[in-house]
Amino acid sequence: MDTAGLLRYQRQIALPGVGVRGQERLRAAAVLVAGAGALGGPAALYLAAAGVGRIGLYDPDRVAVSNLQRQILYGTADVGRLKVEAARERLAALNPDVRVEAEAVRLEAANAAALAAAYDLVLDATDDFPTRYLLNDVCYAAGKPLVQGAVGGYWGQAAVYASPGPCYRCLYPEAPPAAAAPACDGGAVLGPVPAVVSGLMATLALNRLLGLGAPDTGRLWWFDARSLEWTGLAFGRRAGCDHGRSSAVAPVRASAREEEPRWPGAAFS
């Protein structure tokens, strides 16, 4: 590592468990960020700042005025622009050593498997159930760790799914009713809550890439902004779950339950 790199990452290199060797591991790593909104945007900033060598951003949307209350990657001048174009500029300005691959495409059955296979880890910051189940299935099949996060109202949550641990379908075999998952443009959310969850998602990703900490699968982290409480929910592999192997399209069957919307797919980003 050259002098400039040592200077940029000195506070991180000084950490036990990181050092120059760990920093080089990050430089050689590649992370796919699906969704460049309230969760994916800040998480991508932290990954770029940390020195992750290659970051893929995939989001078909454009910046809207209503995004700016919580999507801090963008400014007023970005309204109307493709999110991935504005995000690529911001990440390049933050750390020009990071290679950013940004495409205004939606992840779907036709491209998700190939994209996931091209990265070491996938960060799911999307806001719809079909994409979440699809990413779970392709990542589990490819042996790629999947970090998922979601926010809504005053709450947020994040988890890591990776083989041989439980997958997203082990915890959520069915999608909730449509009424429990408002659309991204209509759901209420307190602005800083996505920042809390995206920071956790970036931390989980960096821990994975660096090999730090205890095993991270089989635990869902839940944050309530009103009580300022974190809750950890432990869960295991569900008997009978085939981890999405039965269908490449990852069909989603809605549940008939009407409960508080605590499903990761009910995200507003």
Write the pLDDT tens digit of every residue in 35-59.
Answer: 999 999 999 999 999 999 999 999 9
pTM, two decimals, is 0.90
Would you call 117 exposed, middle or buried from its count of C-beta atoms within 10 A (0-12, 13-18, 19+)?
Answer: middle
> How many CA atoms does the CB half-sphere of 224 hold within 13 Å?
8
When pLDDT is cut at 50, 70 and 90, the band that residue 257 belongs to is very low
Write the pLDDT tens digit of every residue in 124-167.
Answer: 999 888 899 999 999 999 999 999 999 999 999 999 999 999 99
- C-alpha distances (whole Å) from 209 to each of 106, 181, 267 are 25, 32, 25
Write the pLDDT tens digit of every residue in 89-101.
Answer: 999 999 999 999 9
Query: Could you give the number of structural domains in the chain?
Result: 1
**Position 245 in a domain:** no
**Position 239 in a domain:** no
Write the pLDDT tens digit of every residue in 166-186.
Answer: 999 999 988 776 655 555 555
Q: What is the DSSP letter of 76?
A: G
**Position 251 in a domain:** no
**Position 58 in a domain:** yes
Q: Which residue's entry shows tokens 């821990």?
A: 207
Whether the pLDDT of residue 248 is over 50: the answer is no
**Phi and psi (nearest 5°) for 100?**
-110, 120
Q: Which residue's entry shows tokens 């209350």?
A: 69
pLDDT at position 175: 76
**Position 18 in a domain:** yes
**Position 16 in a domain:** yes
CA distance 117 to 119: 6
pLDDT at position 260: 39
- C-alpha distances (whole Å) from 130 to each of 9, 59, 190, 201, 232 are 38, 15, 25, 20, 25
**Position 179 in a domain:** yes
**Position 13 in a domain:** yes
Range of the domain at 83: 3-234
Residue 216's domain is classified under what CATH number? 3.40.50.720
Helix (H, G, I), strand (E, B) or coil at 51: coil
pLDDT at position 139: 96
CA distance 6 to 137: 39
